Structure 1
Amino acid sequence: MDARPGFHQSLSVLQKELQDMGESVKDLILKSVESLAKFDENAARQVIKNDDLIDDYLTTIDELCLRLIALQQPMASDLRIIGTAMKIATDLERIADHAVDIAKTTIRLAGEELVKPLEVIPQMADIAIEMLHESLVSYTERDVHRAAALAEKDDRVDKLYSSVMQELMGMMGSDYNRNRQLTHLLFVAHFLERVADHTTNIGEGVIYMVTGKRKDLNV
């Protein structure tokens, strides 16, 4: 028999909120990159609008965590679970902020023609979204190995970032408008690199939650 049914029920609610927040954030990143690829200003504005939903999730999760701590007298291992949830929610909120940054870039460049087709940036986005999915599964399944595997994917994102940075900087010349667009695309690549970093933070949190030991996945 469950000695603490109220605690575990509240923990299930917390986990569901975190999963829903993660799915919403994944959708924001995907749609922000799609809006850029298509220069779809309306889609970009929708991404910016939907960021409010992510902020609401963060508030709800923080309140759930604080209520669990205040009312359920969690043990040390429980506190790691709750603390990790709070940290994951914060990283998710920051990932959503980067989706907004990308959407704002779409709006700034709306009406222009891309100086080159987007190739590496969508690849970075695909890996970052896959990492986000894996990190959330590792949390719900308490899967340390899955969390640790994020390090290799983060390395791939870093290499793509270096590649696109060299390529775009190499395309700069004396044309102001061209340089302006290339600079904005560089920022987009940087935002996606940061998304991957926040995702490894989630993986690190999962490892600490399960094992009680710290492991740096972003080296």
Structure 2
Amino acid sequence: MSQELFDIYDEHDQKIGTAPRNEVHAKGYLHHSFHCWIARDTPEGRKILFQKRQDTKDTFPGLFDITAAGHLSAGETVEDAVREVEEELGIPVRMDQLTSLGTIDYYATGTAGGQAFIDREKCFVFGYLLNLPLTAFRLQKEEVAGLYETDLDDAIALFERRVSAIKASGILSAQDERDSAQIFDTTLILQQFVPHKSDDYLHVFKELKKL
């Protein structure tokens, strides 16, 4: 099975070629990714949605992360990458429905499948105010273990380390398409999230308050 190819870039973000996914992460080549953060308004206030990564993911399995995100494959534009939202969450989205929240330079190292990785990304970040309940989403069970929402102000308090835990509601990916999602309550702590920089999380959260 052939590997997905990514466009790779130099320090000035000029394209210098393409490389297979494993090589990109083994050698730390700069590549592009798409992030979409979804928020919704409720009578209790504005909520933010997080996906829980499947336990089978090669990086950060089982941790909470961006609502929908993905790498840009070779030749793809950021506009093409909006497909990630429908693929992961089952909700069709157009780029003109999203609000740009700027770009983030992301860097992480670790191991995946016993191999060291260096992940260097320029992330194109978007916000989407979508007033749908959790049960309206159809999760891609191969990628997404669950979808959770919490009060946006509570999320800010958590990442500012003013509280140690926050309340959240969630649904799990259906194992069968005929299954209906059941909402349950839980609590989240900081250590359960993918270790992006707290400042990056907080920048996004505060921009989502403005949507």
TM-score category by the smaller chain? under 0.3
Q: Which has the higher contact order (CA 8 A, sep 6+)?
A: 1
TM-score (norm 1): 0.25
TM-score (norm 2): 0.26
